[in-house]
Structure 1
């Protein structure tokens, strides 16, 4: 099972991608290196908007200079004066501050509630009695269901993972679910059951814990409740991820921020001081007709808007989004590695280790305790 899925997601970067660190602030020239970075940069985000903006600006300039007649030029100049007077009256700071703050708070909440699988699997394995004949089968079942619940959780909120596993058949082909399990999960959808499939799989895990306790497979009876408590925390994280990620920021707020920013951009396209340009020299006229400051303000607001929009959905396809495919690869590898711990011992890794006899160990401990400081 694990080999098939790992090969299927092997197209994603290595786990070493997690080791990307932030640049050092005290290194000379580090700020210049950051400014020249293209991947994940603001230039890559807005270069198309930049081309469209300047293309429209100079099209309007050509329209005014060579196409319009005298009456049309007068109307154009009047509109430009009106836009120039009111270009600073659009207060974008409050709107964008509220939007980006809301998006960042939501991003932080979603990142902190991302469920993990290692704790659930490890706790279950360490709670079982050793050398059970059916132990490896139970461990494999529990670990596989844990990964399956994780996948089904993020299929709801993550488009790249939904593209990787578009249906239950794809999960069966990858070896993540069995045919009978697939039929049950598909029946959940056909019966119009609103329970997320991930929570259905967690219900199977709860029943497996119950059966394990009934057959006295735990080392202690209390382990049943301890593992159940860990599993319920995992279930809560899965449910919160689905609930919070699918409950998006209201589109009205996103639309309002987009409308305000692009309206400001359209205003700056027309905001021109023809009187100052006419009374100044050649170079001054070029400067007045080149929208450096207005366009800079607009693109600062546009970058701010795009940053908020990226933060709205951290499980998307943007370069700064959480790489869910890479997370899946690590969870699958962890489940396989942790599952093998049930049949492993420390001697299997380090060989026969020379251990100090208990009597000598107790004598050495007592001597160290009695030794003067």
Structure 2
């Protein structure tokens, strides 16, 4: 079975990984120690021959040979090839584990769908589980050496209690040159059909669903045969193993210490280190990486990291029988749970348990500093309607609104300016004003966003150059404050309530905090510019009066 070390790394600490590295079973040390020992032994023999037994001429030849191997060994793409190979092998390893076949879901479905306390109902449920185990064992016999040694022939299943003599006779009665993994599954489907015909399965939908669950189990265990029949291409496995081993054979010469000699092309000046430390580490990493792929190449074998197929068979048999027979129809008596009266239940701790502080499941922005938030001012007033045929995007409205707004008009030449220009002026005025005045500027900005004067622009005397007109922003602000009070503009601050202060005339005024409205006022020119570009695309052949009549039919647009 796969070596388990999850408990050792449950809590990260200084010595956590050290304890993991010191383990032997399933470790890299157990995998590569023989290759590393053989390589060091060969390296030492070559080093002794070079240092002691060779004469000067022979040394020169040996040095040139070592320099050649060290220079051109980089042409072998070891890490590139090995990385792709290990990735393919790991994906295959996970797929094999996903298709091993666990009987829990099928057994629970059998117990709930095939109902009845009679002996026949019990026999059908138990035999359904047994036939599923028989099919799994037949598959494992052909793909797992451990199961093959346990059950060399089909007759050994009789001694193990998985088959009876009559069932083996029925199994042998069907002649087929192919493996008959399907035959126990056919018996299984026939038993389910018998249960349906005798009324043990209440509904056809349950019958179909039960067949589907068993089909999924059969499909998974059959995938193991396909994985075993079609392995990773042999040429890929060969070229990777050949590349890694050839690389380190060349390293026996290329990593040798050579005497300092300038006449040798490409010779390296090195410190004479008798033990090849860096090459030994390279062997641990690269050969260990290769050993990982060798272990995972067939996870149904008998390596330390392979799946324990014998345990899987025994576990499925025990769990399946317990579910469909021992636990059938049993459940605890219904009683009130200990948290019946608690609105916020919380489990009790034992004296030796430790509970750490934890964060609840909530958004990460919940704990943001409130000082960094800009609590914008929200206006719930209706946005003004737009009229078509004018470049400055004037509005139209009903007669009642027209009468109220006409009574409080500023000089007409001021409204001939584009609306975004007025908004930019208000934003600039907001920045230049002191804190006490900014709240008033905000009210004016909100009211400007609410409704423009609805005077027919044809009555306004045109101005040759509107850019030369000076916008009296303070006067505009005062006028807009008066209009806002008349029309009862609603303002809401989400985080901070509005403060009602007494003005110089003894009347109440709305005084929101400046930081709550800064963003809104500064963004008004951009908003107005975008709206103006949008409404300029509207056809100009529609007059304000015609839209006003249409508005009277369908309601005042917001």
TM over 0.5: yes
Question: Paired residue for 1:240?
Answer: 223
Structure 1 alignment gaps of length 5 or more: 1-11, 279-283, 357-373
Which portions of structure 1, spanning 4 or more consecutive aligned residues, are displaced by more than 6 angstroms? Answer: none
Question: Paired residue for 1:109?
Answer: 95
Establish whether residue 340 from structure 1 lines up as the match of residue 328 from structure 2: no
Displacement of 1:268 in angstroms is 0.8
- Partners of 2:8 and 2:228 in 1: how far apart? 27
Which has the bigger relative contact order, CA under 8 A and spacing at least 6? 1
Question: Paired residue for 1:269?
Answer: 252
- 1:252-285 CA deviation, whole Å, 9 max, x = no partner? 111111100000110111112413499xxxxx75
Listed as ranges, the matches of 1:100-179 within 5 Å are 100-179=86-165
Displacement of 1:331 in angstroms is 0.8
Pick which of 39-48 and 161-170 moved more: 161-170
Establish whether residue 328 from structure 1 lines up as the match of residue 313 from structure 2: yes
1:295 to 269, 280, 286: 280
Secondary structure of 1:315's match? coil
- 1:189-209 CA deviation, whole Å, 9 max, x = no partner? xx4532x43322111111111
Displacement of 1:63 in angstroms is 2.7
CA contact (8 A) 1:157 1:242 kept: yes
Secondary structure of 1:88's match? helix
- Partners of 1:180 and 1:77 in 2: how far apart? 76
CA contact (8 A) 2:90 2:293 kept: yes
- 1:304-329 CA deviation, whole Å, 9 max, x = no partner? 11111222111111111222222222
- Partners of 1:185 and 1:21 in 2: how far apart? 46
Instruction: Name the TM-score, length of structure 1 as normaliser.
Output: 0.80
- Partners of 1:312 and 1:89 in 2: how far apart? 27
CA contact (8 A) 1:99 1:308 kept: yes
Pick which of 165-174 and 335-344 moved more: 335-344
Listed as ranges, the matches of 1:199-278 within 5 Å are 199-271=182-254, 272-276=256-260
Describe the shift of the 1:344–1:305 C-alpha distance in structure 2 as closer, same or farther (beyond 3 A).
same
Displacement of 1:187 in angstroms is 5.8
Listed as ranges, the matches of 1:34-113 within 5 Å are 34-113=20-99
- Partners of 2:34 and 2:141 in 1: how far apart? 31
| Structure with a larger share of its residues in helix | 1
- Partners of 1:158 and 1:277 in 2: how far apart? 58
Root-mean-square deviation (Å) = 2.9
Describe the shift of the 1:236–1:70 C-alpha distance in structure 2 as closer, same or farther (beyond 3 A).
same
- 1:64-101 CA deviation, whole Å, 9 max, x = no partner? 33444554433322211111222333221210011011
- 1:19-58 CA deviation, whole Å, 9 max, x = no partner? 9546135223112112212121100111111111111111
Describe the shift of the 1:231–1:209 C-alpha distance in structure 2 as closer, same or farther (beyond 3 A).
same
- 1:123-182 CA deviation, whole Å, 9 max, x = no partner? 122112322331121122111111111222222222112222221122111111112323
Displacement of 1:186 in angstroms is 4.8
Describe the shift of the 1:174–1:63 C-alpha distance in structure 2 as closer, same or farther (beyond 3 A).
same
Structure 2 alignment gaps of length 5 or more: 263-269, 337-558
Pick which of 248-257 and 238-247 moved more: 238-247
Pick which of 173-182 and 259-268 moved more: 173-182
- Partners of 2:261 and 2:282 in 1: how far apart? 21
- Partners of 2:43 and 2:327 in 1: how far apart? 68
Displacement of 1:343 in angstroms is 5.3
Question: Paired residue for 2:166?
Answer: 180
- Partners of 2:78 and 2:14 in 1: how far apart? 35
